[in-house]
Amino acid sequence: MFKKRFVCVLLLLAILLAACGRGATPADDQVTVGFAAASAGWPWYATFIETLENRAKQAGWELTVLGADGDVAAQVNQIQDLIAADVDYLVIGPVDGTAIVPAVKDAHRAGIPVIIIGNTVDEEADEAISAVRVPDDYQMGKDSAELMVEALGGEGRIFVVEGLPGQPAVIARLEAYDDVFGETNIEIVDSQPANWDSTKAVEVTEAMLTRYPDIDGILSMDGSMSPGIVQVVNERGLDIPIVGLGGTASELALVKDGSVYGTTCMSPGANANAAADAIEGLIAGRNVEKFQIVPSPKTTQENADQCPGDW
């Protein structure tokens, strides 16, 4: 009898010790996620990061965010830093879809699943990527160009205020503009970068309106730049259509009051949730769809209230 009781006590003690051991080291089982952002300061990325942080908190992940401020070399180094930190999952918002390919492959070799958001990466890295959650930049460019065709009746001279030169999003949108306007009598007389910066957009717009005082319309490649463009146009007393892209809160207000003819609705919150859903699926071992487009519908006064304007 004593022997049976002694064995029971030992078993109970072993269970208690095991339970205490699990409770004492919860960090050992915590999922770590690294996010290499093109920039932590750009408005779109700021909302993306906030949403991803909320999802990480809900799921109990440890999230590390590094922002490259639009610098390709800095982003490559930051990706390598996250690989060295041995994160469990790596989310990347590329500055340049070509330059980061070797780093993406390094992450894959290290056994780290890679999730691409915001901008696409060259096909050369496809096998090293677990999931892609991006808006369709070509389609958004096409939608914006079609809005300009509608606003101008298919003819006129316009200029474009671009984002950061060389980014996949910029390249795809410019290609879409050319394809749409090539079927019309609308001519892009100039296209200059403002690097997704509202202050820079004002400077670029002022310079181009001085150079092209008889311009018929302006395409803004990003919603964060549209308010600055509207400001300059109003200061000069011009009545020309401005078409945006992105659907920031400030841009949507201008769509609603008619200052901006139309835009597209690109939600960073929706993109962040799509990325977090992909991570959750990978953690659970589910068959995660590799490529998903995050919707970004054409937006005008008629449907502007349906766009979240979350950046």
My answer on whether 252 and 275 are in the same domain is no
Beta-sheet strand order (sheet of 217-220): 185-193, 155-162, 217-220, 242-243
Statement to judge: residues 124 and 141 lie in one domain: no
Do 120 and 146 share a domain, yes or no? no
Q: Report CA-CA distances (Å) from 282 to 2, 101, 137, 210.
A: 51, 22, 26, 53
Angle subtended by helix axes 226-235 and 249-256, to nearest 10: 40
- Asked whether residue 304 is domain-assigned, the answer is no
The first and second tokens of residue 200, run together, are 């820079």
Contacts of 255-258 with CB under 8 Å at 24 or more apart are: 255/299, 255/300, 255/301, 255/304, 256/301, 256/304, 256/305, 258/301
pLDDT band at 16 (very low <50, low <70, confident <90, very high): very low
Q: Which residues of 58-90 are buried (b: 16+ CB within 10 A; e: fewer)?
A: eeebebbbbbbebebebbbebbeebbeeebbbb
User: From CA 62, how far away is CA 46, in angstroms rounded?
Assistant: 18
Q: Of the candidates 46, 15, 31, which has an alpha carbon nearest to the alpha carbon of residue 272?
A: 46
Summarize pLDDT for 29-66 with one digit per residue, the tens: 899 999 999 999 999 999 999 999 999 999 999 999 99
Do 43 and 156 share a structural domain? no
What is the CATH number for 242?
A: 3.40.50.2300
The secondary structure element, H or E, covering residue 128 is none
Q: Are residues 156 and 257 in the same domain?
A: yes
Q: What is the pLDDT of residue 174?
A: 98
22 belongs to a structural domain: no
Least confident range of 20-24, 54-58, 144-148, 196-200: 20-24
pLDDT tens-place string over residues 221-275: 999 999 999 999 999 999 999 999 999 999 999 999 999 999 999 999 999 999 9
| Spatial contact of 225 and 249, defined as CB atoms under 8 Å apart | no
| Contact residues for 71 (Cβ-Cβ < 8 A; gap 6+) | 95
Q: How many domains does the chain fold into?
A: 2
Terminal alpha carbon distance of the chain: 71
Query: pLDDT tens, 72-128?
Result: 999 999 999 999 999 999 999 999 999 999 999 999 999 999 999 999 999 999 999
| Whether residue 195 sits in one domain with residue 289 | no
181 and 276 fall within a common domain: no
Domain assignment present for residue 171? The answer is yes
Name the residue range of residue 287's domain.
Answer: 32-135+267-296
pLDDT score of 20: 41
Q: Is residue 155 part of a domain?
A: yes
Judgement on whether residues 60 and 205 belong to the same structural domain of the protein? no
Model pTM score: 0.86
Q: In the predicted model, is pLDDT for residue 12 greater than 80?
A: no
Assess if residue 251 is contained within a domain: yes
Residues 180 and 214 in one domain: yes
